[in-house]
Amino acid sequence: MTAIKLPKDSKMLSPKFTFGVATASFQIEGGVEDRLPCIWDTFCATDGKIADNSDGKTACDHYNLWQQDIDLIESLSVDAYRLSISWPRVITLDGQLNPKGVKFYTDLLDGLNAKGIKTFVTLYHWDLPQHLEDQGGWLNRDTAYKYAEYVDLITQALGNRVHSYATFNEPFCSAFLGYEIGVHAPGVVGKEFGRKAAHHILLAHGLGMKVLQKNSPDSLNGIVLNFTPCYPSTDSDADKLAADYADQYINQWYIKPLFDASYPKMIDELDENCKPEILDGDMDIIAQPLDFLGVNYYTRLTYSAPSQAGEFYTELEHLYPRTDIGWEIYPKALTELLVSLNTQYKLPPVYIAENGAAMPDKMEDGVINDLDRIDYYHKHLNAVNDAIEQGVDIQGYFAWSLMDNFEWAEGYLKRFGIVRVNYVTQQRTIKNSGHAYKALISQR
């Protein structure tokens, strides 16, 4: 596949449909000297946590190169840019605004707006200030209220510069990967912690939505959830039940409270010490009205009946074909996910906030001919189109990622960008996937 094509009558080819690219603060900014430490700084400094022993101190040096990066974004002909605010860059130890950090974002947003690029701002993309983690982080209910204070201050400071706010990116990753299995910062391990962290993050989301309704009523305000659709490995009842449990634990746990003000039914089967402490009124706070739902999708997983006592399911290896990070390529699951969510819940407009692939890129004569990534985008964009044709109100799509960056526990080993970054020279080179994405957008 050398081009990304959609059906000629696709609603995605309307100028009303938003095409964008996405990044996150810790993954690209660098500029560590001008912000407080965050949990990912600490995690990176811990032996054995990052595959290549790297860190985010420089990353893509976007903190210093933001003006040329805006020109780069403009050159791709996208409608929108999804970025995140670094909480430790804009808030001081005593909870006040850091003027230098705020100026970085107001300058960036002003630059994007001057070029007519819509700004989609994520208020939390995993980089919790370390001093709050030292007080318990997301296991401490008070962190939800600290988050609301941060949102109140920064949204007032950003004024009317922002087209759309997301309270959180991928609460599953923060809670489960960070506080249950410990493969992401802050690296806490224990089944008794994951649901508690998740509840406080969702509570923070609800509190943040209330602040956004007050401070920024004219922006599109919502949340971005990641989904890994769960399929049974066979048609046996035991495997189907296992896949359902996995779906409740991994996916529904984060969306059902938003729309139904309750957790999935499997909460009743958890050990008491693994259940979150839910206070009166919590679920009503969490279930604030949303202007949009962001959906992140990369892959699916298959499940079989549990092989160990006390477990609900067994997660199986990714099937083939796989991306360079080892995730199965299965576009059909994206369509099925979107249609099933639309059936199950009364959804607001949906944006695909992240979708993309790490591939083993090779540069030859200054060109990265990443045909595998182009094929991935072609198939997944058509999967989105299929969901729209089945009645799902999807209004935008963001490619992950604008540029190669710090890929969390993988360090700099995996490249998701449609733009290549040379981490020594910081030179940006648009890959052929970037050119193909631009060509699709430009033909509307």
Q: What is the pTM of this model?
A: 0.98
Query: 29, 336, 354, 407: which one is catalytic?
Result: 354
pLDDT at 184: 98
- For the cut 90, the answer to whether the pLDDT of residue 226 exceeds it is yes
Backbone angles phi, psi at 113, to 5 degrees: -65, -35
- Distance, CA of 311 to CA of 33 (rounded, Å): 44
pLDDT at 1: 82
pLDDT at 320: 98
Q: Could you confirm whether 354 is annotated as catalytic?
A: yes
In sequence order, which residues have a C-beta less than 8 Å from that of residue 10 and are 6 or more positions away? 385, 388
- Distance, CA of 312 to CA of 267 (rounded, Å): 12
Could you read off the pLDDT of 369-408 as tens digits, one per residue?
Answer: 999 999 999 999 999 999 999 999 999 999 999 999 999 9
pLDDT at 396: 99
Instruction: Residue 246: name the closest of 306, 158, 161, 179 by CA.
Output: 306
Could you read off the pLDDT of 287-340 as tens digits, one per residue?
Answer: 999 999 999 999 999 999 999 999 999 999 999 999 999 999 999 999 999 999
Query: 29, 170, 180, 336: which one is catalytic?
Result: 170
> Which whole number is the average pLDDT over 85-105?
98
Per-residue confidence at 415, pLDDT binned at 50, 70, 90?
Answer: very high
Could you read off the pLDDT of 8-39 as tens digits, one per residue?
Answer: 999 999 999 999 999 999 999 999 999 999 99
Task: Name the residue type at position 142.
Answer: D
- Distance, CA of 109 to CA of 182 (rounded, Å): 34
DSSP H or E run through 355: strand 350-355
pLDDT at 407: 98
Per DSSP, what are the bridge partners of residue 394? 350
Q: Could you confirm whether 364 is annotated as catalytic?
A: no
Joined together, the tokens standing for residue 45 give 């400094």
The CA-atom distances, in angstroms, between 427 and each of 26, 410, 433 are 19, 21, 17
Whether the CA torsion 134, 135, 136, 137 is positive or negative: it is negative
